[in-house]
Amino acid sequence: MTVELALAIVATLDLCLKYGKEIKKLCSAIRHAGDEFEERILRVENAWLRCSEQLNFFRRIQTKMDEDHQELHWRTLLVLQEKLLTVKNILSRCSTPGAPTTHGHPEGIIARPWKYGFKKKSIDEAIRDLEIWQKQADASWFLILRMADRQLDLELRDGHSGVAVSIPSTLAIRASHQEPSSEAPSLTLPSDFPGMITCVIPFSHLKLVKQADPSLDQSGVYILNILDPYEPSHYQIAKKDVRNLARRLQHDEPKTFGLLQCKGFFSEKTEAHGVKHITFTVVFRVPQQLSTPRSLRDVLLNDPPGSLSRRFDMARDLVKSINYVHTFGFVHKNVHPGAFLAFQSSEDASLSVFLAGFDSFRKEDGRTRRLGDDSVEKGLYRHPSRQGLNPEAEYIMQHDIYSLGVCLLEIGLWRSFISYDSKGEKPMLSDAFDLPTELSQQETLRFVRTSAAGHLLLLAREKLSSCMGDKYADVVQTCLTCLDPDNSDFGDQSEFEDEDGIQVGVRYIEKVLIKLNTLYV
């Protein structure tokens, strides 16, 4: 780390902590100015509690981080510094210093409730901006927890560190990168669900399990994710991988990560064309207060585009979920609209999108099965180096990022690149590609494997800006070219050979997640 960066980090940390202490004093003085005011003060205090724990933790372990990650975190803190100053200034205008004491200093702070009415909107905007910053900063914060360093564990266990209390998901992510203890639950489930029925989720391989009797409590609703089959000889290795996936997704913050909470898994012996296999099914919980899920493909095919804000929100959900799959230490290998589930809130009309569809997942540092297929609806989302029955390249994180780019392009144009026959069964390329309707299956596959990537990039360059703006289009193009040697952000693979896999995460947060999170209408 350069001396300049080290000094800049210390100065920014000190200033953030200084502003935070002043905000705490202001909150204590004016919290009783009225019920509405007290509620807002509580939100400020909760946000600052989380921030202060992160700042102090970062101060203690920053020297263990590589320079790119330090710089990213420092730039994130510069934004926090600005947000805290705004909150401090607004709260200061709702109060005045007390009368001077014999020492000449003001005696405390006196609330001025009558000023609150004039500042209510400004306070709400400042609090919202601070909370939005917190969500954006979480990506860089959680990436710290991937570091394979003993000091990190010592700091988390330190009795003076309140990080684990103020941010419970911290321990969930840290534990996901460590070997399970002998006391860890097995997570193995029975393969049947008595009194429940299994329903198809249109345009997805995922299934929904719910109570057969609608009069009964519907809180026990689950998503079944059937994984690609394994040969019986690979059973033990496969079971360990699936258990690791289930264990790492034991978090209870689905909206924070864009990933559903895992209940467990079960395995079954299957046979097809005389060949025996072992099939694992991962079971996810459906979050409370959310409606029956639909696949993102279903939404793209059947819903009107809605507002720009709605599309930006959906895109941010996708980007967030890919980030946290990688933070948890996996590559997904199956990113397409059928793997995303959209839920409507029971409280309003907003949609929340979560990533499931872990059919082909693997640990990012685990063995890769270079197995492909002839699926048009999946192949369209694969990078050219991962096409065909025997892909030429091993799967890496950037392949997920490429697939994400195709999904973001669909959301931006609000066009599904896959359409279906009248029965909704046979997938085919949509008219977005202007292909002859009489193309055979083999000709369609040839186009997907050799020409689709160029066509998608052309759509992003020529059509997307007019729909979503230049900055959104730039993010999509970054994703679609992330494996190109001339891509200045991701192209040089030698930059991403660090043992913890943090470098590519830093670049993704910087070039994709943060850029998209700053877009609002």
List, for residues 233-242, the tens digit of each pLDDT value: 888 988 989 9
- Which of 74-83, 337-346, 400-409 is the most confident on average? 400-409
Taking 70 as the threshold, does the pLDDT of residue 219 lie above it?
no
Q: Are 100 and 107 in contact (CB under 8 A)?
A: yes
pLDDT in tens, 138-167: 888 888 887 767 777 777 776 555 776 667
Q: How far apart are CA 48 and CA 53, in angstroms?
A: 8
Alpha-carbon torsion (461, 467, 470, 475), positive or negative:
negative
Taking 60 as the threshold, does the pLDDT of residue 65 lie above it?
yes
Outline where DSSP puts E strands in 172-261: 196-200, 207-211, 222-226
pLDDT in tens, 67-97: 888 999 999 999 999 999 999 998 888 766 6
Q: How far apart are CA 318 and CA 331, in angstroms?
A: 15
Across 189-212, average pLDDT: 89
Identify the DSSP state of 100: B
Q: Are 431 and 418 in contact (CB under 8 A)?
A: no
Give kind and range of the element (H or E) at residue 270: strand 262-272
Q: Which two tokens stand for residue 397?
A: 């994180």
Q: How far apart are CA 89 and CA 118, in angstroms?
A: 14
- Residue where the block lists tokens 């969500």: 135
pTM of the model: 0.89
Q: Which residue has the higher pLDDT, 394 or 271?
A: 394
- Which of 29-38, 140-149, 413-422 is the most confident on average? 413-422
HEC readout, 450-467:
HCHHHHHHHHHHHCHHHH
Q: How far apart are CA 391 and CA 379, in angstroms?
A: 11
The lowest-confidence range among 23-32, 81-90, 296-305 is: 23-32
Give the pLDDT band (50/70/90) at residue 106. very low
Q: How far apart are CA 224 and CA 126, in angstroms?
A: 41
Q: Are 256 and 173 in contact (CB under 8 A)?
A: no
Give the pLDDT band (50/70/90) at residue 333. very high
Q: How far apart are CA 246 and CA 283, in angstroms?
A: 9
Q: What pLDDT shows up at residue 214?
A: 63
Q: What pLDDT shows up at residue 441?
A: 87
Q: Are 271 and 177 in contact (CB under 8 A)?
A: no
Give kind and range of the element (H or E) at residue 276: strand 275-285
Give the pLDDT band (50/70/90) at residue 300. very high
Taking 50 as the threshold, does the pLDDT of residue 98 lie above it?
yes
Across 406-410, average pLDDT: 98
Q: Residue 297: name the closest of 392, 407, 216, 435 by CA.
A: 407
pLDDT in tens, 465-500: 999 999 999 999 999 999 998 888 886 666 666 666
pLDDT in tens, 453-468: 999 999 999 999 999 9
Q: Are 332 and 447 in contact (CB under 8 A)?
A: no
Q: How far apart are CA 496 and CA 494, in angstroms?
A: 5
Q: Are 427 and 337 in contact (CB under 8 A)?
A: no
Residue 224 sits at the vertex; the CA angle it makes with 221 and 225, to the nearest 5 degrees, is 150
Helix, strand or coil, per DSSP, at residue 419 = strand
Residue 155 sits at the vertex; the CA angle it makes with 151 and 156, to the nearest 5 degrees, is 120
CA distances from 197 to 92, 146, 192, 210, 212 (A): 58, 39, 10, 6, 5
Q: What pLDDT shows up at residue 472?
A: 97
Torsion, CA 325, CA 331, CA 337, CA 340, rounded to 10: -30
Taking 60 as the threshold, does the pLDDT of residue 116 lie above it?
no
- The letter for the amino acid at 291 is S
CA distances from 178 to 175, 184, 264, 404, 407 (A): 5, 12, 18, 28, 32
Alpha-carbon torsion (518, 177, 371, 374), positive or negative:
negative
Q: Residue 390: name the closest of 370, 404, 374 by CA.
A: 370
Q: What pLDDT shows up at residue 348?
A: 75
Identify the DSSP state of 106: B
Q: What pLDDT shows up at residue 349?
A: 74
Q: What pLDDT shows up at residue 97?
A: 63
Q: What pLDDT shows up at residue 104?
A: 44
Q: What pLDDT shows up at residue 66?
A: 85
Q: Is 518 exposed, middle or buried (0-12, 13-18, 19+ CB in 10 A)?
A: exposed
Give the pLDDT band (50/70/90) at residue 312. very high
Q: How far apart are CA 63 and CA 77, in angstroms?
A: 16
Domains recognised in the chain with CATH numbers: 3-176 (no CATH), 196-517 (1.10.510.10)
Taking 70 as the threshold, does the pLDDT of residue 287 lie above it?
yes
Taking 80 as the threshold, does the pLDDT of residue 368 lie above it?
no
Across 371-391, average pLDDT: 87
The lowest-confidence range among 141-145, 175-179, 501-505 is: 175-179
Q: What pLDDT shows up at residue 176?
A: 67
Q: Which residue has the higher pLDDT, 122 or 354?
A: 354
Identify the DSSP state of 515: H
Across 8-13, average pLDDT: 94
Those residues whose C-beta lies under 8 Å from the C-beta of residue 493, and which sit 6 or more positions away, are none
Q: Is 462 exposed, middle or buried (0-12, 13-18, 19+ CB in 10 A)?
A: exposed
Taking 50 as the threshold, does the pLDDT of residue 102 lie above it?
no
Give the pLDDT band (50/70/90) at residue 423. confident
- Which of 318-322, 356-360, 431-435 is the most confident on average? 318-322
Q: Which two tokens stand for residue 495?
A: 């930059």
Q: What pLDDT shows up at residue 103?
A: 44
**φ, ψ (nearest 5 deg) of residue 96:** -140, 150
Taking 60 as the threshold, does the pLDDT of residue 182 lie above it?
no
